[in-house]
Structure 1
Amino acid sequence: MTDASPTRPHTETFEHAGATVDMVDAGTLLAAARVNRVDLLQRAVWPSPVQRVDLSVDGTGGTEHVFTARIVTLDPPAATKEKMRGIMLDIDPLGPLLARRIAAGDQVVTRLVDGVGSAAAAAYRTLGLEKPDDREPGLLADAAAGIEATVTHDGGVARLETRVPRDAVGVAHLRAFVILTLQAVAGIAGPQSLAGRRFVIGRLPATPAATQSVTLDMVGGLADVVAELRQIAVSFRHPEAMARWGARRPQGLLMYGPPGTGKTMLSRALANEIGAEFREIRTPEILDKYLGGSERNIKQIFRDARRYRTPTLMLFDEFDSIVSYAGAGGDAASQALNAVAGIFKQEMNDLIEENPNVIVVATTNFPHRVDESLIRSGRFDVKISVPKPDETSRAEILRKMIRGLIGAHETPGFRMFADDLDLAALGVASTGMTGADIKEALRRVQLTKAMQDARGAAVTPISQSDLLTAIHNLRGTPPPTP
């Protein structure tokens, strides 16, 4: 069974061993794994003695997608054996009593203690925990999908792994590996242990307002820009390939375009795609009213950057406010900007030579205000225009924003959006709006519904009419007539 709603994530549902499994946007997950390892399991409750299952797919190696599952059991052997020893060594309060009864010849207690030992030994064998280092790797297979998963053991952890060629991998392989993982869990917890349980395969949704967690997959309407940023991310995630060919990855990126088109969000998404720390440098951190203060500040920022030993993205937002009109004017303010721009050039050169772990991103709404020598190739190798979205792009932005809100807020019994949404019509109605404008229109509708709910009124899901009204109000145009 599948759910192909345009605003809700594509979900495939199947059953195995009495459990229901929802796979959310499986194709997108496999595509995203080409850039970053993707953790696949959302919140799940497992049958005892399974404590948790870590399920992931990683396609960053270039030739294969590697599916991995780690099944962690409760009360590993060492802890259980220590507890049993504790009874006999008087660590457990029950120990002295049992020892005295056994010494007195109490056969009932003796059989009871012996039975506990036999049951523990049987449990070790059932869980596959007996002499873990001596066991040979096992094998689970799905003939229909054509995959085999090796099973290895390390104490209380069972590990499954299978590899599929990158060019051949598909949703069927992901489904098959999930089933093999559930088979392994049922082998540990019992054949009926999964009955009635529900598992969701998909990445945890990020709240759209939390831009720190934004990824390139969440960016709508900027396919060309996203593709170029993915290329940059790949160059950072594969330093061995860069070194093999003597290639220098781009370390300077200038993004320019109208306000509200998502330049800062794209910078955060790029940092997350690389797996880099995000360091935003704001104008007040650099510009100083005292003579020489701005120059000292910019030198200190780059001095720190040369010492970063992990991938780091440095964002100079509103770059033109720091170095605008460099080379123009003869007043004190212009001279100060010229001095900052001159130091920035030299510091940027030194950073590129000394620390390949850092990428510098500058964003501006006014590229013509930035001296061309400052952003020449060699300093800023990549320059990307981030335009206002067109009609199709606006519909895509709405689709991804609405899906994010559904994933973050809808729960059983609570439906946030109605099924009458026409994204194409909303894309037309929002002509001239940026991604920031669309986000604001959604915020206004959400606030209206929340206030109605707070007052105890009957509240219906957000409809096409609600969104059209908010869009027209934001644009200052008459709302549509019913």
Structure 2
Amino acid sequence: MSDTRPRGETFEYAGATVELVDVATVLAAARVNPVELLRRATWPAPVQRVELTVASADRTSGPVHTFAASISTAEEPLSKERIRKLVLGNDPVGLLLAKRIEAGDPIATRIVDGVGAAAAAAYRKLGLDRQAAPMTGREPGTLADAVVGLQAEISYDETGTVVRLHAEVPRDDVTPAHLQAFVGLTLQAVIELTGPDSLTGRRFVVTRETLPKAPVTTQEVTLDMVGGLADVVGELRQIAVSFRHPEAMARWGARRPQGILMYGPPGTGKTMLSRALANEIGADFREIRTPEILDKWLGGSERNIKQIFRDARRYRVPTLILFDEFDSIISYAGSGGDAASQAINAVAGIFKQEMNDLIEANPNVIVVATTNFPHRVDDSLIRSGRFDVKISVPKPDDASRAEIFRKMIRGLIAAHEAPGFQMFADDLDIAALATASHGMTGADIKEILRRVQLSKAMQDARTGGNVTPITTDELLASVCELLGPR
């Protein structure tokens, strides 16, 4: 049996089926970052949404795992973000406008916000923005699970439309049973709002891999989704911890890394890892490419690099700045005497000066540079103090490729499988796929899957359905096709 499908345990609660998937992984991940669960579940009225989070905290008595749930009966407020989503929609024009807004286009922003303001006014005039009636007569209290001894405190927000549950367990004592108990207490609180039989026949899946669903782009990738690079991921996690805890750094007079250089063959995931680090930190992601710096006009390149760092010093939120393909921006500093080489040398010189004190000027910023050709970058540019951490991102070995296949397939299952539709066969031979794809990178494995997905989708389009799940043989054929004749 293939292990590409997450392992889970199922229990029944008030007529509902609850599946807990890889709880040990959830509890381990919560030591580093809060883990959100149940975000995409649907609920009976009047409950609109339930948010459940597992996190870690330090108490005077020692570190604890915290379990928190928020049960809301109020509609999502008409924020600017929500109004934009309503106006833009998912059609091609909406997607184009969304990209223009994301890029900072002031005209597109004014147009959409103007339409949104009119829509919001109409929404309020029609009475569609009414908030839920408050839950009057309810007092703070507790819910308890006697089996594991878990006790959750219950409170209500000032509007009376949100119920909150909170429980803590010492980190050394926490077990999967505690998460199961807290999920049960959360469902019990929902039942008190919706009625004793309201959850009958419903199914809830509690897992960080499928809720929210795995992203289809790298913008939302996390370090947990990275396969086959355990040492690299571990080092990036440590960097994220140092970034998120400046008070601990200050207490010990420690200085977190200001710059990170990631190098290795093409397709090994350097850019993806940079995005994952930004998401692990909770930072904005700013990618700098060669055309943004190098300019054919005299002095233009120098002005561009100065402006990039001038902006970096003004960021007021955590920001990761990625210089992708770093060698193409400032390669072979100090070589050559022609005008182009002099321009590159000038850019490299400014880069060195700006990196000397960036962290002191703005501790909200961390710089990452990636390159396929580290020998093309002058050592003085990436010395310690500028780039304190240098990480090699190699091609994956057999075990790593197996993990990459497993995690990518799990993500696709989470994102696309639904009742009545199975995307992958249950008996996939991951070891055979890892062996057959010797020498391939994560990008290659993604392409293998893309080709098989496209083939299946075309079959589905031609036949109107009745397409069998993807098998090991089909994936192996895609591997051979990508490898080509040898």
Question: Which one-letter code corresponds to 2:156 in the other structure?
Answer: H
2:55 is matched with which residue? 58
Q: Is the 8 A contact 2:267 2:441 kept in 1?
A: yes
CA RMSD of aligned residues (A): 1.8
The one-character-per-residue Cα deviations of 1:211-238 (angstroms, maximum 9, x if unpaired) are 1010000000000000000001111111
Q: 1:460 aligns with which of 443, 458, 468?
A: 468
The one-character-per-residue Cα deviations of 1:93-142 (angstroms, maximum 9, x if unpaired) are xxxxxxxxxxxxxxxxxxxxxxxxxxxxxxx9xx9622x5xx3x312111
Alignment partner of 1:153 is 2:156 = yes
Q: What secondary structure does 1:455 align onto?
A: helix
Q: 2:290 aligns with which of 256, 265, 283?
A: 283
Q: In structure 2, what is the Cα distance between the partners aligned to 1:51 and 1:415?
A: 29
Question: Which one-letter code corresponds to 1:450 in the other structure?
Answer: A
Q: In structure 2, what is the Cα distance between the partners aligned to 1:331 and 1:128?
A: 75
The one-character-per-residue Cα deviations of 1:248-299 (angstroms, maximum 9, x if unpaired) are 1111000000000000000000000000000000000000011111010000
Q: Kindly report structure 1 stretches of 4+ aligned residues shifted beyond 4 Å.
A: 205-208
Give the drift of 1:207: 4.7
Q: 2:145 aligns with which of 139, 142, 164?
A: 142
Alignment partner of 1:411 is 2:408 = no
Alignment of 1:220-369 (within 5 A): 220-369=227-376
Q: In structure 1, what is the Cα distance between the partners aligned to 2:49 and 2:426?
A: 36
Q: In structure 2, what is the Cα distance between the partners aligned to 1:301 and 1:202?
A: 40
Q: Could you say if the C-alpha distance between residues 407 and 416 of structure 1 is closer, same or farther in structure 2, counting changes exceeding 3 Å? A: same
Give the greater-gyration-radius structure (CA).
1
Q: Is the 8 A contact 1:205 1:404 kept in 2?
A: no
Q: Could you say if the C-alpha distance between residues 172 and 56 of structure 1 is closer, same or farther in structure 2, counting changes exceeding 3 Å? A: same
Q: Is the 8 A contact 2:425 2:469 kept in 1?
A: yes
**Percent of residue pairs bearing the same amino acid type:** 75
1:473 is matched with which residue? 481
Q: Could you say if the C-alpha distance between residues 235 and 311 of structure 1 is closer, same or farther in structure 2, counting changes exceeding 3 Å? A: same
Alignment of 1:417-436 (within 5 A): 417-436=424-443
Q: What secondary structure does 2:422 align onto?
A: coil
Q: In structure 2, what is the Cα distance between the partners aligned to 1:382 and 1:163?
A: 36
1:6 is matched with which residue? 3
Q: 1:30 aligns with which of 19, 27, 36?
A: 27
Alignment of 1:9-20 (within 5 A): 9-20=6-17
Q: Could you say if the C-alpha distance between residues 173 and 413 of structure 1 is closer, same or farther in structure 2, counting changes exceeding 3 Å? A: same
Which 10-residue stretch deviates more, 363-372 or 6-15? 6-15
Q: In structure 2, what is the Cα distance between the partners aligned to 1:61 and 1:456?
A: 58
Q: In structure 1, what is the Cα distance between the partners aligned to 2:73 and 2:268?
A: 48
Q: In structure 2, what is the Cα distance between the partners aligned to 1:205 and 1:348?
A: 37
Q: In structure 2, what is the Cα distance between the partners aligned to 1:22 and 1:340?
A: 55
2:173 is matched with which residue? 168
Question: Which one-letter code corresponds to 1:167 in the other structure?
Answer: D
Give the drift of 1:13: 1.4
Q: Could you say if the C-alpha distance between residues 208 and 72 of structure 1 is closer, same or farther in structure 2, counting changes exceeding 3 Å? A: closer
Give the drift of 1:5: 4.6
Q: Is the 8 A contact 1:322 1:337 kept in 2?
A: yes
Q: In structure 2, what is the Cα distance between the partners aligned to 1:209 and 1:459?
A: 22
The one-character-per-residue Cα deviations of 1:299-352 (angstroms, maximum 9, x if unpaired) are 000000000111000000000001111112222222111111100000111312
Q: In structure 2, what is the Cα distance between the partners aligned to 1:232 and 1:24?
A: 28
| Number of residues of Structure 1 aligned to a counterpart in Structure 2 | 421
